[in-house]
Amino acid sequence: MSELMVSVSGVRGIVGEGLTPEVVTRFAQAFGAYVKKGKVIVGRDSRVSGEMFKNAVCSGLMAVGCDILDIGVCPTPTTQLAVETLEANGGLMITASHNPIMWNGLKLIGPDGLFLDAEQGQEVIKIAESKSFSFAAWDKIGVALKYSKAIEEHIQAILNLEYIDLAKIKDRGFKVVLDCVCGAGANMVPQLLDELGCEVVLLNCEPSGLFPRNPEPVPENLTELCEAVKKEAADIGIAVDPDSDRLALVSEKGEPLGEEKTLALAVKFILSKKSGSVVINASTSRVTEDIAEQHGSSVVRTKVGEIHVAKKMREIGAVIGGEGNGGVILPDIHLGRDAPVGIALILQQLAEFGGTISELNDTLPKYVITKDKVELQDLDPKAALEKIQQAYANEKLDFTDGVKIVRDKSWVHIRPSNTEPIIRVIAEAPTKEESEQLCAEVKKQAVN
């Protein structure tokens, strides 16, 4: 299993190489043994390999005595919510999130609807590697049932949020261009926008899994959406990744706001409604910190990875949290990144604000974030981080996750990726020039 990427996000691999039906079946069997049989929710994104892996997952789970509720092609947050509301023993989401088309993977969900943490995940890996699970006898094999209401129930939970005033959003009559990159969001987000009274122009909204572009919703991949927003004279452009846990926005001018702004806007909105603490990861923009400060709220930072943020939110009772890659976590619904929730919050915020998304964006503190990466190849990530630590020994350093150099109005964070064979370098400063310079300087130190 060495070709697999096993991390806090679950298991990922290239289909037919690291990730095969045999490997997936074994992980499903191990997960079934870990959750001690019972009911398991199975969801998947729209990837071409998803049906094959779903069959492998279901076979593995049934073989160790688990009953299955197959909720079909749906967002990751829908699967997490279903585990919690249907009181299942756990859930398996078949997705590789924003990774390219040839990838797939498994996200492991505990009975509380949260992803397994590193320790719990390690236990499943141990069971999988040692094959220490027992097969059920013929009369104890699990049963598989289909459950078709998970998406509908997720939408209803969003519409029932105390912050959502349906009449107010409908009054604005937003024109929205939506890009679901042919992912699982195509089965949910158009329906949600319809319920919110929006006029929707659909881009890549067939859940075929044949991604028409790089599926990560970062500005350089949203050219088609930006052009469509201008052409259609829309109020806003919305992009989600293949499993709809990340959300990116495009202004009415056809300019991408950058994923960091998604969480910042959501935090600004929630803190205007209630007071409380905010949890974000070590790489998230200072914009969120500044907003929290304006509202007299405290911010706690964690390691990168949804589970770290979610667990800390639960521990301190945070009112909102998330990650700067467009991942909004609203505990009122469930403790997981949820693009559909982010969409509803931001449309409500826009309806109350009365102006355009550009004008709303202009109310946020101004910083520029630069994201870069170093391909690992022969580079030892540990050695690279040690070099950085030595080179910047006289500065304020944070070791929450990798190494972060913290200055008055800027910072740079370097850490090995959880999902790809790269080292991520993320810098933020008041200007683009400063941010890019900081990023390049640290990147150079890491590879020299």
Q: Please give the pLDDT value at position 1.
A: 47
- Are 172 and 126 in a shared domain? no
Query: Residue 432 maps to which CATH number?
Result: 3.30.310.50
Residue 401, in any domain of the structure: yes
- Are 335 and 198 in a shared domain? yes
Q: Is 358 tagged catalytic?
A: no
Write the single-letter amino acid at 216. E
- Are 328 and 411 in a shared domain? no
- Are 17 and 160 in a shared domain? no
Cβ neighbours for 121, distance < 8 A, ≥ 6 positions apart: 6, 7, 8, 10, 108
- Are 33 and 136 in a shared domain? yes
Burial pattern 316-349, b for ≥16 Cβ within 10 A else e, equals eebbbbbbbbbbbbbbebbbbbbbbbbbbbbbbb
Residue 417, in any domain of the structure: yes
- φ, ψ (nearest 5 deg) of residue 447: -95, -15
Residue 291, in any domain of the structure: no
- Are 128 and 64 in a shared domain? yes
Tokens 């029932």 label which residue?
160
- Are 115 and 134 in a shared domain? yes
Q: Please give the pLDDT value at position 353.
A: 98
Query: Residue 335 maps to which CATH number?
Result: 3.40.120.10
Catalytic residue among 9, 46, 49, 97: 97
- Are 228 and 266 in a shared domain? yes
- Are 268 and 164 in a shared domain? yes
Residue 263, in any domain of the structure: yes
Beta bridge partners of 416: 423
Tokens 């939408």 label which residue?
155
Distance of CA 90 to the CA centre of its chain: 19
Query: How many domains, in total, are found in the chain?
Result: 3
- Are 221 and 261 in a shared domain? yes
- Are 94 and 195 in a shared domain? no
Burial pattern 398-429, b for ≥16 Cβ within 10 A else e, equals eeebbbbbeeeebbbbbbbbbbbebbbbbbbb
Q: Please give the pLDDT value at position 230.
A: 98
Q: Please give the pLDDT value at position 252.
A: 98
Residue 314, in any domain of the structure: no
CA-to-CA distance for 37 and 268, rounded, in angstroms? 42
* Boundary-marking domain end, from 119, 148, 177: 148
Residue 297, in any domain of the structure: no
Token reading at 100: 């390219």
7 neighbors 202 (Cβ within 8 angstroms):
no
- Are 206 and 69 in a shared domain? no
In order along its 448 residues, the chain shows pLDDT tens digits of 446 777 655 789 999 999 999 999 999 999 999 999 899 999 999 999 999 999 999 999 999 999 999 999 999 999 999 999 999 999 999 999 999 999 999 999 999 999 999 899 989 989 999 999 999 999 999 999 999 999 999 999 999 999 999 999 999 999 999 999 999 999 999 999 999 999 999 999 999 999 999 999 999 999 999 999 999 999 999 999 999 999 999 999 999 999 999 999 999 999 999 999 999 999 999 999 999 999 999 999 999 889 999 999 999 999 999 999 999 999 999 999 999 999 999 999 999 999 999 999 999 999 999 989 888 777 777 888 888 898 899 999 999 999 999 998 899 999 888 767 788 999 999 999 999 999 999 888 877 7
* Boundary-marking domain end, from 131, 148, 165: 148
* Domain extent for 135: 5-148
Distance of CA 116 to the CA centre of its chain: 15
Q: Please give the pLDDT value at position 2.
A: 47
Q: Please give the pLDDT value at position 9.
A: 58
